[in-house]
Amino acid sequence: MGDAIPYLPLAALRTFDSVARHLSFTKAAAELSVTQSAVSHQIRSLESDMCVRLFKRLNPGIALTEAGAQLAPEVRAALERLGAAVAYTKRCGRGGVLRVGAGGAFATGWLVPRLGRFAAAHPEIEVRLSMAMRNPDLEEDELDLAVLSREAGRESGRPPLQPDGEAVLFEERIYPVCSPTLLPLLRSPADLAQVTLLHEECDEAPSPRSALSWEAWLERLGVTGRPRRSGIRLSHFTLVLAAALDGVGVALGREQLIQAALAEGRLVRPFGPELELRSRRQVIRWRSAPGNESRIAAFRSWLLAESAADR
């Protein structure tokens, strides 16, 4: 038998860590969602248990004693290790659950209509899909796998933690689309100046040269001058698609997300099939832990097979 682990007053150590980082009982209380008197009591209890002063009471404020300064980095490192161990255990204990995150446009326009095929092929895997208005984050959102939008040449949004793996799912084909009711108004690209343009404005706003930017497309189509009608700016591609289907205006369609509407004739390409740009892509990222590699591999392989079938 090894030596018994000494009693660790975890709550008091968490309080000490917060006070040591902020050098403020008030800020520590706010961070921990407790009263300032509760923080003072935890610190007094810890100092009594250790028989050592950890803080010097100044006027105003507080400072770490020599003993407190030695203890603070060790407590911080131990709490971080404990947090990582708990997160690891949670990931390992998920059984047959696979947590997947995706942006709303991709989830509703591409992934959800296909999920039934994955469920039929892998009934032993329970998929829990989280839809986000932004690019999902593997660590923050506690995901096994995520699908992110990325504009060629740059990351979209804040950089994520280094994943265990990454693969390109597909490059998005983007071109102008509209309801058939608008076709009589669009005899040539110059007519775009006469109709309402639908702009997609997501959290990671496209650059002026992006394939999702009407500015870049008007230049590409040789349309000079400002459009005579005000455009409509919508916060999500799902809203852009709904407006285009209702004949509100012309949208920049993301082909992989509008295949059904194109096939059914509810959307058309007013300027023919030769115009498209491919400066955006959908990327798969995953982080593995013992016990979930097979589920991630199965879902990743299925995603790539679905994308290949589209092509």
Low-confidence ranges of the chain (pLDDT < 50): 1, 153-162, 203-205
pLDDT at 203: 44
User: What range does the domain containing 218 cover?
Assistant: 172-278
pLDDT of amino acid 162: 46
Structure tokens at 184: 């009589």
Predicted local confidence at residue 88, as pLDDT: 61
Q: Is 92 helix (H, G, I), strand (E, B) or coil?
A: helix
CB 232 within 8 A of CB 243: yes
Domains held by the chain: number: 3
Domain presence at residue 4:
no
CA torsion sign for 305, 306, 309, 311 is negative
Helix (H) / strand (E) containing 307: helix 293-310
d(CA 215, CA 207): 10
Strand partners, 126: 97
Under 8 Å between Cβ of 54 and 65: yes
279: tokens are 């400066």
**CB-based contacts of 119: which residues, under 8 Å, 6+ apart?**
127
Q: Report yes or no on 3 lying in a domain.
A: no
Structural domain includes residue 2: no
Backbone φ and ψ of 18, nearest 5°? -65, -45
Helix axes 10-22, 66-92, angle to 10 degrees: 120
Residues 27 and 75 in one domain: yes
Is 41 part of a structural domain of the chain? yes
> Is there a single domain that holds both residue 200 and residue 262?
yes
Which residue is it, tokens 């469920």?
119
Residues 216, 261 share a domain: yes
- 121 and 140 share one domain: yes
Three-state secondary structure call for residue 213: coil
**Sign of torsion, CA 69 70 73 77?**
negative
Q: How far apart are CA 44 and CA 2, in angstroms?
A: 31
Q: Does residue 1 lie within any of the structural domains?
A: no
Predicted pLDDT at 63? 93
Same domain, residue pair 260 and 203: yes
| 120 and 162 both lie in a single domain | yes
Residues in a beta bridge with 197: 250
Rounded CA separation 72/19 (Å): 10
Within this chain, do residues 81 and 108 fall inside the same structural domain, yes or no? no
Domain end residue (candidates: 35, 57, 92)? 92
What span, in angstroms and rounded, lies between the C-alpha atoms of 215 and 226? 10
Query: From start to end of the chain, where are the E strands?
Result: 55-57, 62-64, 97-103, 126-132, 145-151, 165-177, 198-200, 232-234, 251-254, 277-286
Residue 131 lies in a domain: yes
Find where tokens 């799902």 sit. 238
Q: Element (H or E) spanning 298, and its range?
A: helix 293-310
CATH code of the domain in which 236 resides: 3.40.190.10
**CB-based contacts of 158: which residues, under 8 Å, 6+ apart?**
none
Do 115 and 249 touch, CB atoms closer than 8 A? no
Separation CA 223–CA 212 (nearest Å): 16
Two tokens, residue 22: 């902020």
**Is the domain of 164 the same as that of 287?**
yes
- Residues whose CB is less than 8 angstroms from the CB of residue 206 and which lie 6 or more positions away in sequence, other chains included: 151, 200, 212, 213
Q: Note the pLDDT of residue 132.
A: 77
Is 0.75 topped by the overall pTM? no
According to DSSP, the β-strands at 55-57 and 62-64 are antiparallel
pLDDT score for 213:
80
The verdict on 112 and 53 lying in the same domain is no
Identify whether residues 80 and 105 lie together within a single domain.
no
